[in-house]
């Protein structure tokens, strides 16, 4: 037993589980050797990785700091309090819950706090860039609530606020949701506040994608306008996988806390909560503002290069880290384009564009995001180069081999961390 327990505490994964160690090694190489354009992704700091792999994972607590159901929480309470304080400081909210295991669960907790089954929610439709957790039929939100969707204008592809207002007056939703996962432009939160007020609805802004841009001060903030704001810590915020919920009303914040625990979740994922505190601390530094500015500059450089090569960018550009290519004029589907770019080591995802049919095989969009590449220190020049390779491959003017060579050259010049084999 003595030597067994020594091995348990000291042996790293390379010694104990070569099959998994190989997965880590391969994934680490992939992240080094491919250009990551999936808009939901980012590359967390070494400090965030440290938090995720920390001893905090051993600790079980339920409840909130100072009011736990288990003993021994004096140190982990500091971590959760820091995450809460930093969320409030970063976004200017009065209250925060940092326990949701994901963005989807953050939204579900809000629904549990504010809605009864059968209530009506009004949200952006999936094909216009909405999110699964905002009432898509296979999701719990779609099964338990009466869901009405607003969309975008057929010509501009910008949110149709008049339609949202009309629908709100008709269906009197209990909850109006703003935010999505493939909408490239800033959202008019004041307009949505007025629409919600007129309809007597609560307003939820899900800023999963652009939270990091709000934190960096390069995107308008919904926090003083919405009743509740949710986000992931994963995407532009550059932290661990997980969610946050913010609000400014004490009674509402209490209901949200009860909805997260004991309503939706059990014990806290403390290493993740600590990692959230770390990424929030990073987001409070001046260098994160520089990061946010560079994200916007890079997204615009990429969009400009694509447009100048006769590719169609939905809404003509972007105000965020992401943009949507409309491939219909190229006679390509999203999946074909995704595969063509995968062949030159550029990773991205097919996506519906507004008014696309629901079947993923028929989608004619490609979603591209610059958050991970910007973390890697790609600047506007590099994103113009990436745009040239994408355009070359999608218009058939660049050979696959040349595309691969140019991607490899970029990846080599901008190293990411190597996997730690302990
Ligand atoms: C990504 C995303 C989420 C969900 O995040 P998960 O952590 O993957 O559950 C929720 N809402 C929106 C708008 C998103 O883009």
Per-residue confidence (pLDDT) for residue 102, from 0 to 100: 98
Q: Which helix (H) or strand (E) holds 184?
A: none
Ligand 1 pocket: which of 130, 133, 211 to mutate (most atoms within 8 A of CB): 133
In this structure, which residue's CA is closest to atom 11 in ligand 1? 208
- pTM value is 0.96
Per-residue confidence (pLDDT) for residue 77, from 0 to 100: 98
List the structure tokens of 412.
């080599």
Distance from the CA of 133 to the center of ligand 1, in angstroms?
A: 8
List the structure tokens of 386.
């990436």
54-61 contacts at long range (C-beta below 8 A, 24 or more positions apart) = 54/271, 54/274, 56/270, 56/271, 56/273, 56/274, 57/269, 57/270, 57/271, 59/270, 60/267, 61/267, 61/268, 61/270
Distance from the CA of 182 to the center of ligand 1, in angstroms?
A: 11
Distance from the CA of 208 to the center of ligand 1, in angstroms?
A: 6
Ligand 1 pocket: which of 131, 182, 184, 239 to mutate (most atoms within 8 A of CB): 131
Q: Which ligand 1 atom lies nearest to the CA of residue 180? A: 13
Question: Which among 231, 123, 214 has a CA at the least distance from the CA of 177?
Answer: 123
**Residue 288, CB-side half-sphere exposure with 13 Å CA sphere:** 22
Stretches where the chain sits below pLDDT 70 are 1-2, 418-422
Distance from the CA of 1 to the center of ligand 1, in angstroms?
A: 45
Q: Where are the beta strands (DSSP E) in 15-90?
A: 35-36, 63-64, 67-68
Q: Which helix (H) or strand (E) holds 111?
A: helix 103-114
List the structure tokens of 48.
């965030």
Distance separating alpha carbons of residues 84 and 81, to the nearest angstrom: 5
Distance from the CA of 259 to the center of ligand 1, in angstroms?
A: 18
For 286-413, CATH number?
A: 3.90.1150.10
DSSP helix/strand/coil, 299: helix
352 φ, ψ (degrees, to nearest 5) = -70, 145
CA dihedral for 73, 76, 79, 84, sign (positive or negative): negative
Q: Which ligand 1 atom lies nearest to the CA of residue 107? A: 10
Distance separating alpha carbons of residues 349 and 136, to the nearest angstrom: 19
Query: Which protein residues are within 6 Å of ligand 1, measured from CB?
Result: 40, 102-104, 131, 133, 179-181, 206, 208-209, 232, 234, 241, 243
Question: Which among 168, 151, 169 has a CA at the least distance from the CA of 160?
Answer: 151
**Residue ranges of the chain that CATH labels 3.90.1150.10:** 286-413
User: Reduced to 3 DSSP states, what percent helix, strand and coil does the chain have, rounded to the nearest 5?
Assistant: 50, 15, 35
Distance separating alpha carbons of residues 254 and 73, to the nearest angstrom: 21
Distance from the CA of 239 to the center of ligand 1, in angstroms?
A: 14
In this structure, which residue's CA is closest to atom 4 in ligand 1? 103
Distance separating alpha carbons of residues 391 and 314, to the nearest angstrom: 15
Distance from the CA of 210 to the center of ligand 1, in angstroms?
A: 11
Distance separating alpha carbons of residues 221 and 273, to the nearest angstrom: 23
Q: Which ligand 1 atom lies nearest to the CA of residue 243? A: 7
In this structure, which residue's CA is closest to atom 13 in ligand 1? 180
Q: Which ligand 1 atom lies nearest to the CA of residue 179? A: 13
Distance from the CA of 381 to the center of ligand 1, in angstroms?
A: 30
345-358 pLDDT per residue, tens: 999 999 999 999 88
In this structure, which residue's CA is closest to atom 12 in ligand 1? 208
**Residue ranges of the chain that CATH labels 3.40.640.10:** 55-283
CATH class given for the domain over 55-283: alpha beta
Distance from the CA of 198 to the center of ligand 1, in angstroms?
A: 28
Per-residue confidence (pLDDT) for residue 204, from 0 to 100: 98
Per-residue confidence (pLDDT) for residue 2, from 0 to 100: 65
Angle formed by the axes of helices 380-395 and 334-342, to 10°? 120
């Amino acid at each position: 037993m003595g030597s067994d327990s020594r091995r348990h505490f000291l042996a790293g994964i390379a010694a104990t589980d070569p099959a998994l160690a190989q997965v880590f090694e391969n994934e680490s190489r992939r992240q080094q050797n491919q250009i990551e354009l999936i808009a939901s992704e980012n590359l967390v700091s070494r400090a965030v990785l440290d938090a995720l792999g920390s001893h905090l994972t051993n600790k079980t607590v339920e409840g909130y700091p100072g009011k736990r159901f288990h003993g021994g929480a004096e140190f982990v309470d500091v971590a959760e309090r820091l995450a809460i304080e930093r969320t409030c400081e970063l976004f200017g909210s009065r209250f925060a819950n940092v326990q949701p295991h994901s963005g989807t669960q953050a939204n579900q907790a809000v629904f549990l706090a504010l809605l009864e089954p059968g209530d009506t929610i009004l949200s952006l439709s999936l094909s216009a860039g909405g999110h699964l957790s905002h009432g898509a039929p296979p999701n719990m939100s779609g099964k338990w609530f009466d869901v009405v969707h607003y969309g975008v204008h057929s010509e501009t592809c910008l949110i149709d606020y008049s339609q949202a207002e009309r629908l709100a007056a008709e269906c009197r939703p209990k909850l109006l949701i703003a935010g999505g996962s493939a909408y490239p432009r800033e959202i008019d939160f004041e307009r949505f506040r007025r629409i919600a007020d007129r309809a007597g609805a609560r307003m939820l802004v899900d800023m999963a994608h652009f939270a990091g841009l709000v934190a960096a001060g390069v995107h308008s903030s919904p926090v003083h306008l919405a009743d509740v704001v949710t986000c992931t810590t994963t995407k532009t915020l550059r932290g661990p996988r997980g969610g946050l919920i913010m609000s400014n009303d004490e009674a509402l914040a209490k209901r949200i806390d009860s909805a997260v625990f004991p309503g939706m979740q059990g014990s806290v994922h403390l290493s993740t909560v600590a990692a959230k505190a770390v990424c929030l601390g990073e987001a409070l530094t001046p260098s994160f503002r520089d990061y946010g500015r560079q994200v916007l500059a890079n997204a615009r450089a990429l969009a400009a290069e694509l447009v100048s090569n006769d590719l169609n960018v939905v809404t003509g550009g972007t105000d965020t880290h992401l943009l949507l290519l409309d491939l219909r004029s190229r006679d390509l589907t999203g999946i074909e384009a995704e595969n063509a770019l995968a062949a030159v080591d550029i990773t991205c995802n097919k996506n519906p564009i507004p008014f696309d049919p629901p079947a993923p095989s028929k989608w004619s969009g490609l979603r591209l995001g610059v958050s991970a590449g910007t973390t890697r220190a790609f600047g506007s020049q590099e994103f113009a180069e990436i745009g040239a390779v994408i355009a070359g491959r999608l218009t058939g003017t660049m050979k696959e081999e040349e595309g691969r060579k140019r991607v490899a050259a970029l990846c080599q010049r901008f190293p990411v961390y190597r996997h730690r084999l302990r």
